[in-house]
């Protein structure tokens, strides 16, 4: 039906012009409707809304007053945060956090050497941004940096001493040797061309080892730069050994979490594959490891590592007190990660495996190209869940005498310099903010990854 026929319709009861557009009724659109639909859609929801409003209204002003309005922001000692000294009600004592911030970050790490920790923090931040920012260039280089160069540099910088310097020297020699081999290989086509005549040059260049080595060029150069920089630092300023007993604060918290996260993912994948393997010995080993580790609490593992291990190992060979919980945490996270990933593997339809095999892919290619990318995507929430759990579990190392971030706060709470009625609440509030920001950041990032990867499957 066209406009023309409508125009000519002889019936009087047919409207000839369209109605004025009207706003949607208030009960369907607009803020009022939103409130009604989301907050007061039924008696139960109305009740819950009122309850929440009541809780927020009674607690929020009090919290804001305590943590912001009445808070003390500057001061040198407890006098600044005592109500009868400052003559007004005193809330949170942020001056205490400001005063002890250095200790919360570095623990007992010697003051003159703290720049080393700062470099490690900067390197860590660079690595994290490189790995997590989707548009970052040269991802493969970033991968190499994050999993090889950064851990070595962190070890060298944080620990220092003769062993670290030897490591830098060896790293430099190794990357120099690789660079030399690379340079030699890059001359092969020219030499061959010289002897065989340039007619064959194209063929030779095609078959040149350089073609296969073009990837590592950047890696070798990068390694050379990093080791060179470390070598310069070690020889000019010097990197005296800082015993792990002196490490503490956020440094240790990040260290334990990073080691746990970096180790647990690859080992978890291997364990998950092992558990689903058809080879009986590999399967048995994986099952025993996973079930054993999952069957004991982390506290027990840490406790055993710190009290039993020294009984069986001669004192000179007993591992470092910080290394023990690091290994414990990594093992622990790997076992849990394995089960998460196994869930993803089991969710894959059989057709995917058969399809991959019918393409002629071997086991590792099939896993790498077809199965794991899909399986891992399915279990991203589970993986991040494990990471967050791991991050919070790092506080358990307190019981084996390691001063992690939370322990440094507790250590300052006994100090009379800042002993006031509100110090405890302030310290724990600071810890809560720190842990919340870290965990919330991880969770937000995982949500964005999930959304990006699941774009094709959005329902």
**Which residues in this chain contact another protein in the complex, by CB under 8 A?**
78, 82-84, 99-100, 102-103, 106-109, 111, 243, 245-246, 248, 300, 303, 306-308, 310-312, 315, 321, 399, 401, 403, 407, 410-411, 414-417, 419-421, 423-424
For the bound state, the minimum distance from the C-beta of residue 303 to another protein, rounded and expressed in Å, comes to 8
Q: Which of 44/414 has CB closer to another protein? A: 414
Query: Shortest Cβ distance from residue 416 to another protein (Å)?
Result: 4
DSSP class of residue 370 equals I
The residue among 9 and 98 lying less far from another protein, judged by its C-beta, is 98
Residue with tokens 């990357």, as numbered in its chain: 175
CB of 356 to another protein, least distance (A): 48
Closest CA to 109 of 165, 153, 158, 164: 158
| Residue 24 vs 414, nearer CB to another protein | 414
Report whether 334 contacts 262 (CB < 8 A): no
What are residue 404's DSSP bridge partners? 249
Taking the complex as a whole, the smallest distance from the CB of residue 418 to another protein amounts, in Å, to 9
Nearer to another protein, 57 or 311 (CB): 311
Which is closer to another protein, CB of 416 or CB of 456?
416
Identity of the residue, 66 or 130, whose beta carbon is nearer to another protein in the bound complex? 66
Residue burial 265-285, b: 16+ Cβ < 10 Å; e: rest: bebbbebbbbbeeeeeebeee
- Distances in whole angstroms, Cα of residue 36 to Cα of each of 40, 42, 50, 53: 5, 9, 13, 15
Given a contact cutoff of 8 angstroms between Cβ atoms, the answer to whether 301 and 332 are in contact is yes
Shortest distance (Å) from residue 266 CB to another protein: 32
Between 106 and 267, name the residue whose CB sits nearer to another protein: 106
What would you report as the CA-atom Rg of the chain, rounded to the nearest whole angstrom? 31
For another protein, which is the closer residue by CB, 153 or 306?
306
Q: Shortest gap between Cβ of 373 and another protein (angstroms)?
A: 44
Nearer to another protein, 250 or 372 (CB): 250
Closer of 310 and 389 to another protein (Cβ): 310
Spatial CA neighbour of 265 closest among 408, 372, 128, 157: 372
The H-assigned helical ranges of 197-236 are 201-207, 209-213, 216-236
The CA distance from 377 to 456, in Å, is 12
For another protein, which is the closer residue by CB, 276 or 321?
321
Q: Could you please report the per-residue DSSP string of 93-125?
A: BHHHHHHHHHHHHHBT--GGGHHHHHHHHHHHH
**Shortest distance in whole angstroms from residue 115 CB to another protein:** 16
Q: Taking the complex as a whole, how short is the minimal distance between the CB of residue 378 and another protein, in angstroms?
A: 37
**Distance of closest approach, residue 336 Cβ to another protein, in angstroms:** 22
Angle, vertex CA 295, rays to CA 290 and CA 299, nearest 5: 110
Structure tokens at 233: 């630092």
Q: Smallest gap, in angstroms, from Cβ of residue 248 to another protein?
A: 7
For residues 383 and 376, what is the distance between their CA atoms, to the nearest angstrom? 8
What DSSP letter does each residue of 371-398 carry, written as one string? IHHHHHHHTHHHHHHHHHHHHHHGGGGG
In the complex, least distance from residue 304 CB atom to another protein, rounded to whole angstroms = 9
Q: What is the distance between the alpha carbons of residues 331 and 288, in angstroms, rounded to a whole number?
A: 13
Q: How far is CA 206 from CA 209, 216, 271, 317, in A?
A: 9, 18, 40, 52
Region for 444 from its dihedrals, namely left if φ exceeds 0, alpha if ψ lies in -120 to 50, beta otherwise: alpha
């Amino acid at each position: 039906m066209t406009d023309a026929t409508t125009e000519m319709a002889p019936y009087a009861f047919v409207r000839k012009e369209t109605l004025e557009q009207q706003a949607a009724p208030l009960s369907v659109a607009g803020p009022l409707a939103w409130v009604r639909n989301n907050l007061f859609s039924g008696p139960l929801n109305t009740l819950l809304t009122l309850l929440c409003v009541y809780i927020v209204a009674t607690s929020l002003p009090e919290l804001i007053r305590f943590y912001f309005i009445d808070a003390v922001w500057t001061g040198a000692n407890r006098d600044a945060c005592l109500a009868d000294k400052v003559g007004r009600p005193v809330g949170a004592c942020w001056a205490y956090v400001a005063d002890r911030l250095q200790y919360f970050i570095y623990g007992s790490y010697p003051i003159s050497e703290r720049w080393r920790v700062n470099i490690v923090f900067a390197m860590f931040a660079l690595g994290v941004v490189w790995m997590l920012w989707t548009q970052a260039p040269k991802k493969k280089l970033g991968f190499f940096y994050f999993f090889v160069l950064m851990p070595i540099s962190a070890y060298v910088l944080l620990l220092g001493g003769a062993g670290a310097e030897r490591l830098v020297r060896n790293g430099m020699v190794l990357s120099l040797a690789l660079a030399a081999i690379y340079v030699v290989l890059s001359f092969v086509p020219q030499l061959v061309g010289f002897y065989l005549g340039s007619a064959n040059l194209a063929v030779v260049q095609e078959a040149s080892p350089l073609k296969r080595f073009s990837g590592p060029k950047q890696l070798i150069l990068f390694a050379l730069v990093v080791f060179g920089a470390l070598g310069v630092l070690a020889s000019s300023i010097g990197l005296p050994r800082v015993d792990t007993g002196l490490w503490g604060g956020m440094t240790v918290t990040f260290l334990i979490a990073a080691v746990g996260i970096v180790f647990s993912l690859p080992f978890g994948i291997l364990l998950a594959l092992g558990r689903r393997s058809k080879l009986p010995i590999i399967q048995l080993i994986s099952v025993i490891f996973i079930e054993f580790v999952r069957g004991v609490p982390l506290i027990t593992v840490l406790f055993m590592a710190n009290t039993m291990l020294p009984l069986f190992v001669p004192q000179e060979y007993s591992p470092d007190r910080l290394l023990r919980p690091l290994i414990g945490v990594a093992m622990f996270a790997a076992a849990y990660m394995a089960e998460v990933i196994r869930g993803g593997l089991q969710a894959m339809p059989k057709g995917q495996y058969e399809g991959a095999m019918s393409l002629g892919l071997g086991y590792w290619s099939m896993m790498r190209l077809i199965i794991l990318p899909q399986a891992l995507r399915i279990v991203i929430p589970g993986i991040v869940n494990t990471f967050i759990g791991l991050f919070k579990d790092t506080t358990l190392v307190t019981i084996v005498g390691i001063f992690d971030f939370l322990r440094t706060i507790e250590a300052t709470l006994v100090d009379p310099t800042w002993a006031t009625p509100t110090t405890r609440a302030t310290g724990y509030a600071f810890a809560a903010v720190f842990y919340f920001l870290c965990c919330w950041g991880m969770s937000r990032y995982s949500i964005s990854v999930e959304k990006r990867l699941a774009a094709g499957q959005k329902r």
